[in-house]
Structure 1
Amino acid sequence: MKILGIHADRVWYKITKKTKMAEPEPVPEDEMTDCVLLFCCVEKSDEISPEATVTATVESILVRLGRLKAKRVMLFPYAHLASDLGCPGISQWILRSIQTRLAEDGIDTKRAAFGWYKEFEIKSKGHPMADFSMSICPFAGGVCEGECCPKKQEHQEAACHS
């Protein structure tokens, strides 16, 4: 899982056009203030163990939120962070599960529409820790530092069957 995060004063989006993998009945427009925007991209290797991906991602997000003293998150599906995209169905399940688990941990969480082009605005807080990236490796049990673990490399050829 790849994540680009921005600690923001405000995030707003509006869906503009459906893609072939668009989720049905999305929230057409939404916003959140005083939050962390997380551009998220599920990778093929995350499909090997979706539950482990969710667990490792939630743990890593909670650590980051603790550092920022933030309690609000906007999950924003963003396929442009990786070239080895996960299957749409599994990717949606992973993102919905992350949303649910964060909410269970007391984080006010919203999720932007999956598979839709979106117009969006971000007003970053602009402090030294406001922008960050994370590469979550479910095989390492958390954030990868540089090279991914050998187990991930072994599973890199996971095929999309949906």
Structure 2
Amino acid sequence: MKILGIHADRVWYKVTKKTKMAEPEPVPEDEMTDCVLLFCCVEKSDEINPEMTVAATVESILVRLGRLKARRVMVFPYAHLASDLGCPGISQWVLKSIQTRLVEDGIETKRAAFGWYKEFEIKSKGHPMADFSLSICPFAGGVCDGEYCPKKQEQSGEACHS
């Protein structure tokens, strides 16, 4: 899973057009202030163990939120972060599960519509830690740092790449 995070003063979006993967009845327009915007892309490799992907992603997000002293998140599906996209059904499940787990951990969380083109605006806070990226490795069950990953080696004979 790939994530691009932005600590924002304000995030706003409005759905404009559905794709063939569009979820039914999306929230057509929403916004959030003083939050962390998480552009999220579920990858094909996340299908190996989606539960582990969710758990590792939530753990990594909570660590980052702690550093930022942030308690509000907008999960924003964003397919443009990877070229090997996960299937729509599993991707939606992963993103909804991340939202649910964050809420269970006391984080106010919203999720933008899956499978819809969206018009959006972001006002970033612009401090040194305001922008970040995460690559969650479904083989290691955590943030992938690009080093040798024995679990991926067992699965495919390759090293883990960030």
User: Shorter-chain-normalised TM-score: which range?
Assistant: over 0.9
Paired residues, number = 156
Is the Cα–Cα contact under 8 Å of residues 45 and 152 in structure 1 kept in the other structure?
no
Q: Which residue of 1 aligns with 2:40?
A: 40
Partner Cα separation in structure 2 for residue 123 and residue 150 of structure 1: 40
Q: Which amino acid aligns with 2:31?
A: E
SS in 2 for 1:62: helix
Q: What pairs up with 1:106-145 in 2 under 5 angstroms?
A: 106-145=106-145
Q: Percent sequence identity over matched residues?
A: 90
Q: What pairs up with 1:81-100 in 2 under 5 angstroms?
A: 81-100=81-100
| Length-normalised TM-score, structure 1 | 0.92
Shift of 1:149: 2.5
Structure 1 runs of 4+ aligned residues shifted over 6 Å read none
Q: Which residue of 2 aligns with 1:80?
A: 80
Q: Which residue of 1 aligns with 2:53?
A: 53
Partner Cα separation in structure 1 for residue 125 and residue 50 of structure 2: 32
Asked if 1:64 corresponds to 2:61, the answer is no
| Length-normalised TM-score, structure 2 | 0.92
Partner Cα separation in structure 2 for residue 140 and residue 22 of structure 1: 31
Q: Which amino acid aligns with 1:90?
A: I
Partner Cα separation in structure 1 for residue 147 and residue 93 of structure 2: 26
Shift of 1:148: 6.6
SS in 2 for 1:93: helix
Per the alignment, do residues 114 and 37 of structure 1 end up closer, same or farther by CA in structure 2, a change over 3 Å counting?
same
Shift of 1:152: 3.5
Shift of 1:146: 2.4
SS in 2 for 1:126: coil
Partner Cα separation in structure 2 for residue 155 and residue 106 of structure 1: 37
SS in 1 for 2:128: coil
Per the alignment, do residues 148 and 132 of structure 1 end up closer, same or farther by CA in structure 2, a change over 3 Å counting?
farther
Note the aligned Cα RMSD (angstroms). Answer: 1.4
SS in 2 for 1:134: strand
Q: Which amino acid aligns with 1:56?
A: A
Q: Which amino acid aligns with 1:132?
A: F
SS in 2 for 1:61: helix
Q: Which residue of 2 aligns with 1:160?
A: none
Q: Deviations over 1:40-80 (max 9, x none)?
A: 00001100111101000000000000000000000000000
Per the alignment, do residues 148 and 136 of structure 1 end up closer, same or farther by CA in structure 2, a change over 3 Å counting?
farther
Shift of 1:139: 2.0
